[in-house]
Structure 1
Amino acid sequence: MAATNSCYSFVTMYSYSTFLLLSVLAVFSGSNCFVQHVDPCPCKDPTHCNFITKTPEKELFVFQASDQYWTDYDWSYITTVATFTPYNPEVMCTAHSKGARLVMAEDYPGNQLSNATYRSAWVKQKVELATKQHMDGINIDFESVLSLKNSHLLIALVNETAQAFRTANPHTQITFDVPYGPGCTWSRCYDYKQLAAICDFLVIMDYDMVGGSPYAVSNDGLKLVRLGIESFQADGIPNNKLVTAVPWYGYDFTCTHLLQDNICSFIGQQDGVKIKNGVQMYGKGVQRQYKIITQLLKNSTTGRIFNETLGSPFFNYVDPTTGGIRQLWYDDPESLMIRYSYAKSSQLRGVSMWNADFLDYTGDPDGRALTKAMWDAINSFFL
């Protein structure tokens, strides 16, 4: 979208006196622009501190949750890194050197959604921080329950954020993370069409689709993934406003009963059932990162079993502490390629993952080969 104000000159490596002079000139010229201080460029190549201006046709939107492994990412197709970690200028320099954006990933407190003063201060702080750190935008990860009657408050937040960021940098990127389906999925009753209109695109969290069944199931059943995306499309949200984020993790369930065809039931498991609003809610199991899953698979009692209906693999193994049977559902290159290919055939804007740090970047050659295969699977979306 076009910026609401195209003036975005900043002080970078100027002297403080020059900064004051430019500020005075801005005031007396009657301009409504503001001159903002930016830290000196930390990159060896100063051009790598420039904002990324190119908008790619396809997106590989990478969620970064650790500051340990980013040097080992496969940067071949990465267009954006959304970081949940404290700012690291080296990540910014590397991303920009690859032509990729680095954006801040930020939550907003749900109890402050109706507080306009707090909202404006929050937006101002994020814009100043992004500008100072040569970052290219913001990914809003709003994780609070929201009723339909308050959905307009979220729109006000996102709209104010987008306007402020685009005033500071016309090439900024504004994205918003949404549940795997529209409506009131996860009790988040958003105005998805308005969010899509304001933002560059929505990142669909196509995972955590468990919790309503007393049986172990896939984290991202293929039918639910497709139904969610088709529902967004049916609501009038353009394909180029949708990016699907897949899980690079799975869920590990304790089986109280192992039924026919390896159906793992945890009925009767005391910590597996919670009562919420008078409804039984079944536990999701233990979350496992892909690098842990591949190790557990080595000691499985079944080997990898692929479920055609859900489009995901699973395996059973013996709990070393209790001696009981556990069942772990996950995704691997084969199952993810199905999802990437579906995103391509649906002409979505891009693909993503939660998160890029769940792979084995430090292990033995076998572990690193598995990690390479996970990155290589993404090729099916781009090629």
Structure 2
Amino acid sequence: MCYAHSKGARVVLKGDVSVKDIIDPTFRESWITQKLVLAKNQYMDGINIDIEQEVNCSSPEYDALTALVKETTEAFHHEIEGSQVTFDVAWSPKYIDRRCYNYTGIANACDFVFVMSYDEQSQIWSDCVAAANAPYNQTLTGYEDYIKMDIHPKKLVMGVPWYGYDYTCLNLSEDDVCTIAKVPFRGAPCSDAAGRQVPYKVIMKQVNSSVSGSQWNKDQQAPYYNYKDSSGHFHQVWYDNPQSISLKAAYVQKRGLRGIGMWNANSLDYSGDAEARQQTEEMWKVLKPDLGQRRLSFL
């Protein structure tokens, strides 16, 4: 925390709480007070509220969640000068994973929302096949939908994944369509739960020894590769790299969003290996393309 502050960076708490509990105003007040005490004692700069629970549109939790964000923001701003209160939202406002939130009210109530533009296959309604974690067109549609709800672009921060999904293929066709097991999630017949999350540093160590090498899907604007495990089963791994992230970062600038972030920084390789160091630098650089260009001009 002290090191981050020495670099001018903010460090915030992560806040999660049962939506059933926050219906009670007294409970909300107590929860906020506890978080404030913790933030002050640890010299933190605010809180990021990360609640990814199901909420019904007509339920009391719908209004209670907006109230929690508003009351948390007011309390933190009052008690900690210059503090920041943010809220994590799904990649789209279209009730992803049965999350019906008052997105406009929440965005207006806090400093900004962090859009989790990943795990976009958490509900697969079409064919049960492996696909990109954050397909380009699908990702951008989510932001346009938020903006159509009168949420100002400067209230939106794009979150990109520094991890991918490893799917075991029930069948891998000649044109690289990987059929996956049917694992239901919140109403959908299939989901990315059929695969497992893999950090970028692991992907980079595996891709060159895969049977396909890195491939590029033009429709989803994302890389993938195929490999065979020790049991002889084919796997397909979808991930994001500097190429796919740069396309999204360009949209952030063009559309005037507040910024871009990632989940999560520990997914990269910070060892002394020269190749790993270059890969890590490229992933950081792509989040700030202007800074990257200035750096290159000085070399």
The alpha carbon displacement at 1:195 in A equals 0.8
CA distance in 2, matches of 1:250, 1:372: 18
CA distance in 2, matches of 1:274, 1:354: 24
Of the candidates 70, 78, 101, which is equivalent to residue 190 of structure 1?
101
The alpha carbon displacement at 1:302 in A equals 0.8
Is the partner of 1:327 in helix, strand or coil? Answer: strand
TM-score by length of 1: 0.72
Of the candidates 153, 156, 167, which is equivalent to residue 242 of structure 1?
156
Is the partner of 2:23 in helix, strand or coil? Answer: coil
Of the candidates 139, 142, 151, which is equivalent to residue 228 of structure 1?
142
Q: Match of 1:10?
A: none
The alpha carbon displacement at 1:375 in A equals 0.7
Q: Match of 1:218?
A: 132
Is the partner of 1:164 in helix, strand or coil? Answer: helix
Q: Superposed, which structure 2 residues align to 1:1-383 within 5 Å?
A: 92-149=1-58, 150-210=61-121, 211-212=123-124, 213-266=127-180, 269=181, 272-274=182-184, 280-282=189-191, 283-320=193-230, 322-362=231-271, 364-380=273-289
Q: Retained in 1: the 8 A contact 2:261–2:287?
A: no
In structure 2, the CA distance between the partners of 1:381 and 1:190, relative to structure 1 (3 Å rule), is farther
In structure 2, the CA distance between the partners of 1:264 and 1:183, relative to structure 1 (3 Å rule), is closer
- Amino acid of the residue matched to residue 215 of structure 2? I
In structure 2, the CA distance between the partners of 1:257 and 1:185, relative to structure 1 (3 Å rule), is same
- Amino acid of the residue matched to residue 204 of structure 2? T
Specify which structure has the higher proportion of helix: 2
CA distance in 2, matches of 1:351, 1:243: 5
In structure 2, the CA distance between the partners of 1:203 and 1:381, relative to structure 1 (3 Å rule), is farther
- Count matched residues: 286
CA distance in 2, matches of 1:315, 1:194: 41
**Root mean square deviation of aligned Cα:** 1.6
Per-residue Cα deviation, 1:325-359 (whole angstroms, up to 9, x for no partner): 10000011111111111111111000010001100
In structure 2, the CA distance between the partners of 1:132 and 1:249, relative to structure 1 (3 Å rule), is same
The alpha carbon displacement at 1:275 in A equals 7.6
CA distance in 2, matches of 1:163, 1:238: 20
CA distance in 2, matches of 1:124, 1:183: 32
Q: Retained in 1: the 8 A contact 2:208–2:214?
A: no
The alpha carbon displacement at 1:381 in A equals 6.1
The alpha carbon displacement at 1:133 in A equals 1.6
Is the partner of 1:314 in helix, strand or coil? Answer: strand
**Structure 1 unaligned runs (5+)?**
1-91
In structure 2, the CA distance between the partners of 1:281 and 1:360, relative to structure 1 (3 Å rule), is same
Q: Which has the larger radius of gyration?
A: 1
The alpha carbon displacement at 1:119 in A equals 1.6
**Structure 2 unaligned runs (5+)?**
294-299
Q: Retained in 1: the 8 A contact 2:224–2:239?
A: yes
Q: Retained in 2: the 8 A contact 1:221–1:311?
A: yes
CA distance in 1, matches of 2:2, 2:211: 46
- Amino acid of the residue matched to residue 45 of structure 2? D
The alpha carbon displacement at 1:274 in A equals 3.4
CA distance in 1, matches of 2:49, 2:87: 5
Q: What percentage of aligned pairs have identical amino acids?
A: 38
CA distance in 2, matches of 1:125, 1:328: 42
Per-residue Cα deviation, 1:183-208 (whole angstroms, up to 9, x for no partner): 31221111111111111111000000
- Amino acid of the residue matched to residue 57 of structure 2? L
Q: Retained in 2: the 8 A contact 1:252–1:286?
A: yes
Q: Retained in 2: the 8 A contact 1:341–1:381?
A: no
Is the partner of 1:281 in helix, strand or coil? Answer: coil
CA distance in 1, matches of 2:185, 2:235: 24
- Amino acid of the residue matched to residue 196 of structure 2? V
Q: Retained in 2: the 8 A contact 1:340–1:381?
A: no
CA distance in 1, matches of 2:290, 2:13: 25
Q: Retained in 2: the 8 A contact 1:343–1:381?
A: no
